[in-house]
Amino acid sequence: MLSFDTSLRETIKQKIDSEHKDLQPSFSDRFAIVMNYLSKRNNWWMIFGIVVALFLILTFANIGLLSFISLSDKTTSIIIDQRISNVATIVSMTMAVIGLLLSNLAVKDSQTYKLVFIRSRLYLILYYTLSVIFCLIVTSTLRDTIKDADIYGQAVLAGTYLSLTILFAIGYLFRRIIHFANPSKIQEILKRQWFEEARKNLLIHLMEKYSHATFIELMKKHNVEELSALSLMRNAKMFTMVEGTAKREEKVRRTVYDVDMANLNIQLSNDKFEGRRFYHGKIGINMLIELPYEYISYEIKDARKNSPISSFFITKPEGSQQSYDTEYKNYFENKLYEYSTEGKASKVEEILTMYAELYLFQMKHDKK
């Protein structure tokens, strides 16, 4: 029996953490999620901001470990111009090699190209490199403007350190892209992405499933009757009076984000509610509900605004639902159809084996 002493979201999160530990992302998974987000094409401004912030920190923080090198005024001027030339040369050579590698991908389809750009961190490394070049150009331009030789020297060193990291980033880029020259490696990466997609979808499903079941348990404890949305609409007259008024409100669809189970439990146990008949719609985290009918209601039209009980529900706009991602699922479904029509039995068997693995994985966590 649940205690209902915390919010619904927190209760279900604890349940999932304890009963489905292998669904939780590891530290490396979380790091990869952040890196994948930064690697998206439209996030250039975030990379630029991070690089500029790092450059300023290295310039003004006076970190002893990084400022042991001393430079003369003449040396700083020479170095800054050389760094710009070095980085520009490296970028041009890198782009040429990447173009050659991309033209020789083992599997050439839109999904593979999209995956290679994300998995190789190509956009991230490119934006990082261009941001470093920007910092170097600004530093070179301000050589006669910055009067403090020490600060300027630190800025040159900061640009040099950032330039050195580009070499490691490009090495990583080559290593990742080369994987896509091997068809079996590509299939392995695609499979991993599909299973990761399924894991995220399963977490959303379990949050919805467990939260609805937990909410129902609390409602049964207080003899609150569940009505379907259709039943609620058919019996709308039961919910038309608002404290003696008959004002009608426009229906609104909202997403349930959380429910204050502790205070809701206390409120429903309150003596002043005894003898009243309550109703509720299908409510659970991430579920879409139609106001006013699908809150807990008792002879009212707009429960959200007029019922003290409705204040324990935290909702968000309709479009804020966590959606189920089916990008890789659709990809493999299309591939299965393609291989079936072409008579490629081994390819069909390979994908069906993946389906079997995924089915067993899902049944392990969602038996009912």
pLDDT at 127: 93
Mean pLDDT (the chain, rounded): 81
Which residues pair with residue 225 across a beta bridge?
279
Phi, then psi, of 324 in degrees rounded to 5: -85, 125
Instruction: Give yes or no: residues 236 and 343 share one domain.
Output: no
Instruction: Give yes or no: residues 151 and 245 share one domain.
Output: no
Instruction: Give yes or no: residues 115 and 206 share one domain.
Output: no
- pTM of the entire predicted model: 0.78
Asked if residue 33 is part of any domain, the answer here is no
Torsion sign (Cα): 37, 17, 210, 193: positive
Instruction: Give yes or no: residues 166 and 64 share one domain.
Output: yes
Instruction: Give yes or no: residues 66 and 81 share one domain.
Output: yes
Domain count, the chain: 3
Domain termination site, one of 163, 181, 199: 181
pLDDT at 120: 85
- How big is the chain by its Cα radius of gyration, in Å? 29
Asked if residue 152 is part of any domain, the answer here is yes
pLDDT digits (tens, 9 = 90+) for 312-340: 888 888 888 889 999 999 999 999 999 99
Domain termination site, one of 149, 181, 213: 181
pLDDT at 274: 59
- Pick out the chain residues at pLDDT < 50: 230, 238-248, 298-306
Instruction: Give yes or no: residues 98 and 156 share one domain.
Output: yes
pLDDT at 241: 36
Helix axes 110-119 and 149-179, enclosed angle (nearest 10): 140
pLDDT at 305: 44
Instruction: Give yes or no: residues 45 and 177 share one domain.
Output: yes
Asked if residue 29 is part of any domain, the answer here is no
Asked if residue 344 is part of any domain, the answer here is yes
Domain termination site, one of 118, 153, 181: 181
pLDDT at 359: 93
Asked if residue 31 is part of any domain, the answer here is no
Instruction: Give yes or no: residues 202 and 266 share one domain.
Output: yes
Instruction: Give yes or no: residues 253 and 350 share one domain.
Output: no
Asked if residue 15 is part of any domain, the answer here is yes
pLDDT at 68: 65
Instruction: Give yes or no: residues 226 and 119 share one domain.
Output: no
Asked if residue 352 is part of any domain, the answer here is yes
Instruction: Give yes or no: residues 249 and 133 share one domain.
Output: no
Instruction: Give yes or no: residues 195 and 170 share one domain.
Output: no
Asked if residue 32 is part of any domain, the answer here is no
Which residue segment(s) compose the domain that 108 sits in? 39-181
